[in-house]
Structure 1
Amino acid sequence: MTVISPAGKGAAQAVLEAAERHYQRTIQALNEIIEDVTAGRTARAKELKGALSDLGKAAQTAFDERSKVEKRLRAEEGAVNGYALDFDSARDEIGRRLACLRDAAGTGSVSGEPE
């Protein structure tokens, strides 16, 4: 039996990546405002308070969405606690072992049995 670590990419992953790109753009815009204010161009200073608030909200949303997407990806792949079982491999192994038991059934006595 094989243990599979989840690593799939689907619609949920694409949405998460888009959200992360938006978050990075927000950080870049905030840094530009800070640079303008630091350089003495205070016209954008009013935007700073709103941008900081938006960034905090965006960060929390990104963290929440990441958690939801990761949970959904694990559920879609049948993963529990970060891992999934390969049931096809397990089924094959059980079948192989049952075949060995069937083959051994006609040999007479079982080894290790009291005489």
Structure 2
Amino acid sequence: MATRDRESIAGSCDIDPERLLKVAVANYEDVILDLHEMRASLRASESYSETEFRRVVTMVSRSVQTVYDERKRLDDFWKRQAGAGDDGSFDMEAARAEIGRRLDRIRSAQDAGDLPG
């Protein structure tokens, strides 16, 4: 991707979060499939010594784990953005508490004369 394209994506406020998530998920799936194919081709190859083979397979396995870890981080991020709890449900009590805190701050600022009446 050209630098200009990356900058326009990063700086744009018109990014559709759902589309961005779909692109990220598709990229994760592509990487996982590529790594799986790489591991299968390594196992089928006889051009590596046993030591080299184990080293490369270990590196590929670590890469797969890294992709899974990053995918989980992405899922957790989107859940937090949506206001979901640990089980994926919306936490109404936490939302009420946060709204209450924000209203209290607004009332305090208004009472202190910091906001125009």
User: What TM-score, normalized by structure 1, do the two folds share?
Assistant: 0.50
Instruction: Please report how far the alpha carbon of residue 65 of structure 1 lies from its aligned counterpart in structure 2 after TM superposition.
Output: 0.8
In structure 2, stretches of 5+ residues that fail to align are 1-16, 93-117
Give structure 1 regions of 4+ aligned residues with deviation exceeding 6 angstroms: none
Quote the Cα distance in structure 2 between the aligned partners of 1:16 and 1:53.
24
Structure-2 change in CA distance of 1:54 and 1:9 (3 Å): farther
Q: Are the counterparts in 2 of residues 16 and 65 from structure 1 also a CA contact under 8 Å?
A: no
Structure-2 change in CA distance of 1:51 and 1:23 (3 Å): farther
User: What TM-score, normalized by structure 2, do the two folds share?
Assistant: 0.50
1:83 is aligned, of 76, 89, 92, to: 89
1:58 is aligned, of 57, 63, 71, to: 63
Give the match for residue 20 of structure 1. 29
Identity %, equivalent residues: 14
Q: How many residue pairs align between the two structures?
A: 73
Give the match for residue 48 of structure 1. 53
Quote the Cα distance in structure 1 between the aligned partners of 2:79 and 2:91.
12
Q: Are the counterparts in 1 of residues 32 and 67 from structure 2 also a CA contact under 8 Å?
A: yes
Rg larger in structure? 1
Query: Could you say which structure has the higher helix fraction?
Result: 2
Q: Letter of the aligned partner of 2:24 in structure 1?
A: V
Give the match for residue 74 of structure 1. 79
Q: Are the counterparts in 2 of residues 74 and 80 from structure 1 also a CA contact under 8 Å?
A: yes
Q: Which has the higher contact order (CA 8 A, sep 6+)?
A: 1
Structure-2 change in CA distance of 1:54 and 1:21 (3 Å): same
